[in-house]
A = this chain, B = another copy of it.
Amino acid sequence: MTVRGFPAAEFEDRVARAQRYLRRDGLDALLVTSPQQVRYFTGFDTQFWESPTRPWYVVVPGGGAPVAVIPEIGEPGMRATWVTDVRTWPAPNPSDDGVSLLAATLRELAGPGGTVGAELGRELQLRMPVVELREVASRARVTVVDGSAAIRSCRHVKSELEIDKIRHACRLTSDAYARVPGLLRAGDTERDLVQRLRAELVTGGADASPYLIGVAGQGGYDNIIMGPTDRPLGTGDVLIIDTGTVFDGYFCDFNRNWAIGRADDAVRRAYDAVWRATEVGINAARPGVRACEVWHAMATELTGAGSSGNNVGRLGHGLGLQLTEPPSNHPDDRTVLQAGTVLTVEPGMEFAPGLMMVHEEDIVVRDGGAELLTTRAEPHLPII
């Protein structure tokens, strides 16, 4: 069993790195509001994010320890983390839900006229009312700007302790995928099979599967983000299951494909092509290589195999505390991979009009070449 939580040194290192990026970006402090950022800097772990009522704040100052500004309901939990400066207000409070407390904290930590980075840019969502951010900035007399570059730089390279958790999520999910053929029963719908797998993942040690889709279609599927539905599985179907399953906050994200009963040659060829493109992607991902180069290597392989593109828009992405993180394996993403970058390699192709084949594996970029975190998919389409 992989250990849960992190030693305080892990968080001290994250904060120190964030502070270097704050200096780089000319920011006096960083304000974060969303589950993954709060967890990244504090270790605070709750499912209570599911309730949108109350905002939660953590401020990382230019120097020194982070400060939590949170609803009273969270005090026992936050006091159990490494954070010592925990400021609370009775929430919900429609007339002042932390606004004055956060404004005072920002004024103190960013200084008068200071500049505060916040989650305003791409792939980030501000988890507080936008109208209240304006109010906070005005009362604190600070300027709030997009802090996404600092957040992205900080989270891009994973520590070995983070990688251990992602590897654990990948392994237990690989084990559960291996049991899928044995889970299928005659007359099953997509939902029957996927929900049986969901229970297997929990029994196998997963905390939860926030993303667990299943889509099947005769001779192929037309998308990879919907389902499962009550459509019965039948002979000639091609089935994809994809999951973001979590252990201690860290995601795996990879899929598997099966044919039910039989598969025609076009499907088998597409599977083989995408399996090879995955191999190409895994081999291309090395420190110093750009995400767009990983894309290019895979895209060349797919085009050579007759792909007419796909509607996913990229061929993999970062992975960690979120199902998808920057960078994107995309022609326009010039992010340089580093030792410790965790990536999904996710080539997909439309092999016939409206029919897709998508593979996915998870890797960590290493100096000597990528380490595969998942148990590699079978090289030829499994028939069940």
Q: Footprint of B on A, CB under 8 Å?
A: 4, 45-48, 50-54, 71-77, 80, 90-95, 97, 118-133, 146, 148, 195, 198-199, 202-203, 207-213, 222-226, 230, 244, 311-314, 317, 322-324, 328, 330, 332-333
Kindly provide the distance from the CB of A31 to the nearest chain B CB, expressed in whole angstroms. 12
Look across to chain B and name the residue whose beta carbon is closest to the beta carbon of A33. Answer: B125
Chain B residue at smallest Cβ distance from A223: B76
Q: List 9 A-B contacts (CB under 8 A).
A: A47-B210, A51-B322, A52-B324, A73-B223, A95-B332, A97-B122, A195-B203, A202-B202, A208-B212
Contacting residues, chain B, for A133 (C-beta < 8 A): 130
Q: Which residue of chain B has its CB nearest to the CB of A121?
A: B129
Interface hub of A130, A207, A211 (most chain B Cβ within 10 A): A130
Residues of B within 8 A of A122 (CB): 94, 97, 129, 132
Closest chain-B Cβ to A321's Cβ sits at a distance in Å of: 11
- Chain B residues with CB under 8 Å of A72's CB are 311, 313
B94 contacts A223, CB within 8 Å?
no
Assess whether A127 is in contact with B125, with CB atoms less than 8 Å apart: yes
Cβ distance A171 to chain B, nearest Cβ, rounded Å: 17
The answer to whether B97 and A53 touch across the interface, beta carbons within 8 angstroms, is no
Beyond A51-B322, A90-B311, A92-B330, 20 additional contacts (C-beta under 8 Å) are A4-B230, A45-B226, A47-B212, A51-B211, A54-B313, A74-B225, A76-B223, A77-B223, A80-B226, A93-B332, A94-B332, A118-B130, A119-B130, A121-B131, A122-B132, A130-B130, A130-B133, A199-B203, A208-B208, A208-B209
Q: Which residues of B contact A54 (CB under 8 A)?
A: 313
Q: Within 8 Å CB of A126, what residues of B?
A: 125-126, 130
- Can you tell how many copies of this chain the complex includes? 2
Kindly state the separation between the CA atoms of A129 and B152 in the bound complex, as whole angstroms: 14
Identify A52's interface contact among B93, B123, B129, B332, CB under 8 A: B123
Whole-angstrom distance from the CB of A373 to the nearest CB of chain B?
19
Q: Which of B47, B127, B210 contacts A213 (CB 8 A)?
A: B47
Q: Which of B45, B93, B209 contacts A313 (CB 8 A)?
A: B93
A130 partner residues in chain B, CB cutoff 8 A: 118-120, 126, 130, 133, 146
Minimum CB–CB distance for A158 against chain B, Å: 18
Give the 7 A-B CB pairs with smallest separation, nearest first. A48-B225, A51-B324, A76-B223, A120-B130, A72-B311, A77-B226, A50-B211
Q: Which one, B118, B222, B328, contacts A53 given CB within 8 A?
A: B328
> Which residues of B sit under 8 angstroms from A332, Cβ to Cβ?
93-95
- The residue in chain B whose Cβ has the minimal distance to the Cβ of A224 is B73
Bound-state Cα–Cα, A124 to B4, Å: 32
Taking CB atoms, residues of chain B closer than 8 Å to A333 are 94
Residues of B near A317 (CB, < 8 A) are 53
Contacts of A209 in B (CB 8 A): 208
Max chain B C-beta neighbours (<10 A), residue from A48, A75, A203, A211: A48
Q: Tell me which residues across on chain B come within 8 A of A211, comparing CB atoms.
A: 47-48, 50-51
Q: With both chains docked as a complex, state the minimum distance between the C-beta of A93 and any C-beta of chain B, in angstroms.
A: 7
Closest B residue to A144 using CB positions: B130
| Residue on B nearest A191 in the bound complex, by CB | B207
Residues of chain B lying within 8 A (CB to CB) of residue A210:
47, 50, 208, 210
